[in-house]
């Protein structure tokens, strides 16, 4: 049965008179998978993580029924330490025993098997990110918070870390805070959406997209853009034309009709469907219509 690992009720955090978090309530169950924690700059994401890690004074109720680990956006370690030594130190500082087999297994899992004996001072950002995740994993948490895990990485490094996060989330809850909404859309099954200290949404990513992003896109060869616009207008399908992208945006519910027209008139197209930017559009919509704003 799914267990509640962590719950916050009416959590409020003030810095002086300013409320960085305002009566935030949510719960994380064991089956939450990857949870995307998203919100504009200053929304309160870091404050929320720090408060859950008990680094801030807060009003409200915080219930933690599990072990939690945290990895910052740019993890740094004593430069001369090898990954094995970094993990040994983390275990030592947490009063846990060093188990060679376990440490090696974790370093292999995060993709550092080839760098076990190298001082981390020479590691790339991606490797340091992996080491940070390994440190979090070695403490056997049930929930891991990752702050901006892909922001400093190149596209390949980003992809690898996203795959690793999905893999870890098969057995743990991974809360990922990020501004890279395409990444979040790709990995998060659930979302926490914050704006100006208020929690605007918690729930499934797919329900969030269904509610706040109603658009699908047809990407065409530029020569066929005009023809496509005319045929769709004739079929009374409302579209938004983005000429520079040779794209037409329309309501998702018209997808089947649009496909029929595309095929019937043999329009040359690259893509027709729901794209990777849905979360960005949905996020803009919910933030723009935030009713909690005074």
Q: Which residues bind ligand ATP (CB under 6 A)?
A: 15, 20, 39, 41-47
Closest distance between ligand ATP and the C-beta of residue 15, in Å?
Answer: 3
Pick 245 or 290: Cβ nearer ligand ATP: 290
Closest distance between ligand ATP and the C-beta of residue 57, in Å?
Answer: 11
Task: Provide the 3-class DSSP secondary structure of residue 253.
Answer: helix
* Ordered alpha helix ranges (H), the chain: 45-52, 83-93, 100-109, 125-138, 155-168, 181-187, 205-212, 225-234, 255-264, 278-288
Largest CA distance in the chain: 71
Residue 228: both structure tokens together: 């496509």
Pick 43 or 52: Cβ nearer ligand ATP: 43
Closest distance between ligand ATP and the C-beta of residue 50, in Å?
Answer: 8
* 62: β partners: 8
Closest distance between ligand ATP and the C-beta of residue 41, in Å?
Answer: 3
How does strand 4-15 pair with strand 59-64?
antiparallel
Residue 245: both structure tokens together: 């992208």
**What is the Cα–Cα distance from 229 to 172, expressed in whole angstroms?**
47
Pick 39 or 132: Cβ nearer ligand ATP: 39
Q: CA-based Rg of the chain, rounded to a whole angstrom?
A: 23
Pick 51 or 82: Cβ nearer ligand ATP: 51
- Is 187 within 8 Å of 168 (Cβ atoms)? no
Closest distance between ligand ATP and the C-beta of residue 40, in Å?
Answer: 7
Pick 42 or 121: Cβ nearer ligand ATP: 42
Closest distance between ligand ATP and the C-beta of residue 149, in Å?
Answer: 14
Closest distance between ligand ATP and the C-beta of residue 74, in Å?
Answer: 13
Pick 13 or 220: Cβ nearer ligand ATP: 13
* 27: β partners: 7
Give per-residue burial for 272-281: e unless 16+ CB within 10 Å, then b. beebeebbbb
Pick 72 or 111: Cβ nearer ligand ATP: 72
Q: What is the DSSP string of 256-292?
A: HHHHHHHHHTT--EEEEE--TTHHHHHHHHHHHT-TT
């Amino acid at each position: 049965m799914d267990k509640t690992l962590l719950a916050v009720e009416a959590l409020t955090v003030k810095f002086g008179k300013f409320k960085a978090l305002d009566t935030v309530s949510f719960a994380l169950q064991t089956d939450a998978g990857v949870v995307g924690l998203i919100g504009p700059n200053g929304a309160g994401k870091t404050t929320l993580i720090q408060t859950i890690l008990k680094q801030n004074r807060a009003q409200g109720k915080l219930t933690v029924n599990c072990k939690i680990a945290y990895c910052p956006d740019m993890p740094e370690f004593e430069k001369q330490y090898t990954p094995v030594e970094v993990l040994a130190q983390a275990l030592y500082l947490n009063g846990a025993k060093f188990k060679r087999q376990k440490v090696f297994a974790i370093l292999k899992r995060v993709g550092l098997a080839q760098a076990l004996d190298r001082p981390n001072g020479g590691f790339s950002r991606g490797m340091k990110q992996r080491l940070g995740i390994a440190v979090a994993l070695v403490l056997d948490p049930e929930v891991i918070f990752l702050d901006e895990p892909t922001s400093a990485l190149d596209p390949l490094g980003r992809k690898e870390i996203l795959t690793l996060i999905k893999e870890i989330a098969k057995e743990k809850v991974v809360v990922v805070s990020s501004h890279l909404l395409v990444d979040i859309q790709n990995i998060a099954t659930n979302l926490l959406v914050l704006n100006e200290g208020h929690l605007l949404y918690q729930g499934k990513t797919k329900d969030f997209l269904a509610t706040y992003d109603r658009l699908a896109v047809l990407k065409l060869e530029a020569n066929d853009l005009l023809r496509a616009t005319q045929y769709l207008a004739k079929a009374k399908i409302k579209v938004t034309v983005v000429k520079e992208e040779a794209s037409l945006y329309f309501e998702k519910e018209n997808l089947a009709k649009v496909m029929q027209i595309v095929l019937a008139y043999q329009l040359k197209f690259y893509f027709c469907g729901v794209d990777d930017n849905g979360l960005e559009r949905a996020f803009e919509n919910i933030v723009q219509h935030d009713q909690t704003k005074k």
